[in-house]
Structure 1
């Protein structure tokens, strides 16, 4: 197992019991930045979301507090801009694609844009709740994203267990 992915199987295994796939427990779920954000109820005071790709189009992402993004499945192309003029002209100061088993940190003050594959699932950890939201997510739409996330988390958990033997 590669050093970059050693955390993937344990993370997927720990997140699975926190994921509620029922339509009646979608409290706090929302759409933003090209993702469905599914809040995870953790035993401590951290703010953690499961992010499931909602679009393959490039999406702007405003980061208000330090944030860590751990990619469990799929891939994310990340672009960072230092000022709005660079973002408008499409000249990123940093651009990279992150696949399963890779992670990155995002910091306030920079401008970000992302593009994901349709199978992207990430764990996003931040010091405060995400405040930029496109709209609430509930009912069958929530359940669909939760089922998709569960499927990819289960695959990541099984794949890594088999690779470590």
Structure 2
């Protein structure tokens, strides 16, 4: 009987401590559409549509702006891509915005040196592709007209003068 009492007490305590977690209204909005991509370190470069997740090289190949690097000696022609800074940009609205809720942006696999700007404020400086980055953005987020920019710096430039 004593074992049953301890088991029931443990279950009740566990339930009490997990109730706040169960009560949270968690929703998720995936921001993978309507991105643009621009060579930020090349003056006058025009933005092109971009798929996220994706890569700069693949996007440029799909848009006919870059030759297939695996064909012939094309690899020599595409080296500039890795030596160029790139910016992904997105304007978005928040689904079901509520100023009392907690908002977070999560990035998976930012390759490698990236600066993330939301509505004009730097929210993240990433330096590791092999991790997930999460940033609280509640104070910066608006119901609509949010501007998200992810600036990628080429490794040789990010590590200079080393």
Higher strand share: 1
TM > 0.5 fold call? no
* Higher gyration radius (CA): 2
State TM-score, norm by structure 1. Answer: 0.31
Q: Which has the higher contact order (CA 8 A, sep 6+)?
A: 1
